[in-house]
Chains A and B, each alone.
Chain A
Amino acid sequence: MSIKRLRLLGLLPTWVTIGVLMIGPLLIMAAVSLMEANVYGGVHLRFDVSSYVQILFDKNLFDETEFNPAYLIIILRSFMLALGATGLALLIGFPAAYYIARQPDHRKNLLVFLITIPFWTNLLVRTFAWVIILGRGGFMDQVGSFLNIIGPDESINLMYTNTAILIGLVYSYLPLMVLPLYASMEKMDVRLLEAGADLYANRYELIRRIIVPLTMPGIIGGSILVFVPCLGAFIAPDLLGGGKKLMLGSLVQLQFATSRNWPFGAAIAMMLLAIVVIALMVNARAARRHAVYEQTGAEATHG
């Protein structure tokens, strides 16, 4: 068999599977977002952009189009929570990633493995653990009353708040922040820090002027890996927000589970996809820039 035939044979199953079961559905979803909703679920085969209009506008009693902020609030909440979770994950993950990167090899491998374990366990179960912790009379209330911070029947009561969702989001995606951070910190040349210190930089300046610029690909990569799934999160807002504080992911799910407005759900999903594409473009651009930066830096030292 020729190498061409072998290649085709090897790649075809993957092409067909992902093509038919992933690209196909995404294209159909794009088409559905441009169709008219059927009130019983599904769609009428008629071109209609009203699903996209519906994101910002509503028809009032007189059939006039007017601005409706209801969904805009959900979009803004999603962005705020996703940004907040990304920032917090970066803040928590940065020192840990740096510390692990400076350990001896065998310990490094073990610690990285410990970071990946939560990633491989069930997200629903991990989020549910926070229901036990934050819920009324739960673990945190019991610890609180044991430490006499709150009375025996009082509750810290964070459930169904934005704070609870934020905690859940950070917890869900923290490993995705730390792994790329760690990867770029491990590659960093420690001698640069020594050189910086010789030039009278203090530790804060070392972080700001050496570590952060050199680990920028990890920072951006990790931030995107956290930001994107946070934006489309469904489990954390559902379990910890009580399904009342909707985010984009839960809004999409709702359109298919109860509201039965497929085109609108598809339109929101398309919006999420567009954000992912933008995020990936930002990432690619940052990586390119960093490559140039490293190259010119190398030329500066070797040339």
Chain B
Amino acid sequence: MASPHRKSKFRPIWDFPGFGGLSVGFFAFLYVPILVLVAYSFNGSKFAMVWSEFSWRWYLKLLENDDIHSAAINSLIVAFFAAPAATIMATLAALVMVRGGPFRSRAFTAGLITLPLMVPEIVTAVATLIFFALLNINLGLINIILAHTVFCIPFAYMPIRAALEAMDPGLEVAAQDLYADRWDAFRYVTLPLLTPGIMSGFMLAFVISIDDFIITLMVAGAGSTTLPVYIYSMIRTGVTPEVNAVSTLLLAVSVILVSVYWLLSSANRKGEAIG
């Protein structure tokens, strides 16, 4: 209905002149800085900001940097524990919230799940720091995993709830009509249909965990540095082009994961349109 008729001489009243150009500017503003960063990661110069020639040298240097390796491994360990934990909890919560019928603590639960999104990150960060410090909980990476699990829950929850809401509850009823008990209906109907939603939730939680900086910075003790925290220390101690290279890799991981998520969810949309 709302397709712009480019070739028509008449400009529909809802088509504002100049908004297209402003939108191009908007996307340029969003993407030019990222592209500049990526381009400079291939800069042969010793100085992060001065361009000389194309080169892979900073990526090759990354291969030799043990500190970056251990920071990257820490990031992966944290994400591989926090994201699945958050996804499992989010899935259980979403099942109850969407399929659990009416119950009293529904609004409370909805508020609780969105709480980590509402509280400014720096506040969560220092509150968690105080909590661990006063209770003397000093378990290295486990502290970080616990903190990450909390703020991963809402990100995992949103796509899973959306997938459940889009699913036809009649399917489960049909399964039960065919003598499946409630568990079988869940195991053979709901869960397989929900899997793309759960995968989406997991991926968003994973990306959020991998990218988190402020909370990790405050909660991480010595020896449990994650990649973003390491990048921060690189920026603070003097910018070498190596920062650009490692930053580009971190960007690439997020972009790939989010793209997979998007393809999954648009495949889901198409499936609905057909089914």
Seen from chain A, the residues whose Cβ lies within 8 Å of a Cβ on chain B are: 3, 6-7, 9-11, 13-15, 17-19, 21-26, 28-29, 32, 42, 92-93, 95-96, 98-100, 102-104, 109, 113-118, 120-126, 128-133, 135-139, 142, 171, 174-175, 178, 190, 193-194, 196-197, 203, 206-207, 228-229, 231-232, 234-235, 239, 249, 252-253, 255-256, 262, 265-266, 269, 272-273, 276, 280
Contacts and interface: CB of A to CB of B under 8 A. Distances in A.
A28 B122 contact: no
The 8 residue pairs across chains A and B that have the minimum distance between CB atoms: A232-B120, A25-B131, A25-B127, A10-B96, A96-B26, A129-B33, A129-B37, A95-B22
Contact of A109 (B23, B31, B266): B266
A260 to B, nearest CB: 11
Contact of A234 (B89, B204, B214): B214
A280 B126 CA distance: 22
Contact of A229 (B47, B115, B121): B121
A117 B257 CA distance: 10
B123 A269 contact: yes
B34 A129 contact: yes
B49 A137 contact: yes
B247 interface: yes
A196 to B, nearest CB: 8
A122 B29 contact: no
Contacts of B88: 13
A10 B34 contact: no
A23 B120 CA distance: 14
A232 B121 contact: yes
B103 interface: yes
B164 interface: no
Contacts of B126: 29, 252-253, 255-256, 265-266, 269
Given A194-B14, A262-B130, A273-B120, 10 more contacts: A18-B113, A25-B130, A26-B123, A122-B247, A124-B213, A125-B37, A132-B36, A171-B29, A175-B30, A239-B235
A120 B211 contact: yes
Main secondary structure of the interface of B (DSSP, over half): helix
A96 B113 contact: no
A131 B18 CA distance: 31
Nearest to A279: B118
Interface string B46-62: 01111100000000000
B158 interface: no
B235 A272 contact: no
A139 B101 CA distance: 57
30 contacts: A9-B92, A21-B147, A23-B112, A28-B130, A29-B123, A29-B130, A96-B19, A99-B19, A109-B266, A114-B30, A122-B211, A122-B213, A122-B250, A123-B211, A138-B49, A139-B40, A171-B29, A178-B26, A193-B14, A194-B14, A229-B121, A234-B121, A235-B214, A252-B126, A262-B130, A266-B126, A269-B126, A269-B127, A273-B120, A276-B118
Contact of B243 (A128, A229, A255): A128
B92 A15 contact: no
A256 B109 CA distance: 31
Contacts of B218: 253, 256
B26 A10 contact: no
A121 B211 contact: yes
B235 A22 contact: no
Contacts of B159: none
Given A15-B109, A229-B121, A21 B247 contact: no
Given A11-B105, A272-B122, A42 B13 contact: no
Contacts of B113: 14, 18
Contacts of B244: 132
B20 to A, nearest CB: 6
Interface string B226-266: 00100110010001000110010011001101110010001
Contacts of A255: 126
A123 B92 contact: no
Q: Which of A15, A99, A115, A231 has the most CB of B within 10 A?
A: A99
A132 B49 contact: yes
B248 to A, nearest CB: 8
Contacts of B243: 128
B115 A103 contact: no
Q: Which of A120, A178, A253 has the most CB of B within 10 A?
A: A120
B50 A137 contact: yes
Contacts of B29: 92, 171, 174
B65 interface: no
A128 to B, nearest CB: 6
Q: Which of B17, B49, B93, B122 has the most CB of A within 10 A?
A: B122
A98 B15 CA distance: 9
A26 B127 contact: yes
A237 B42 CA distance: 27
Contacts of A232: 120-123
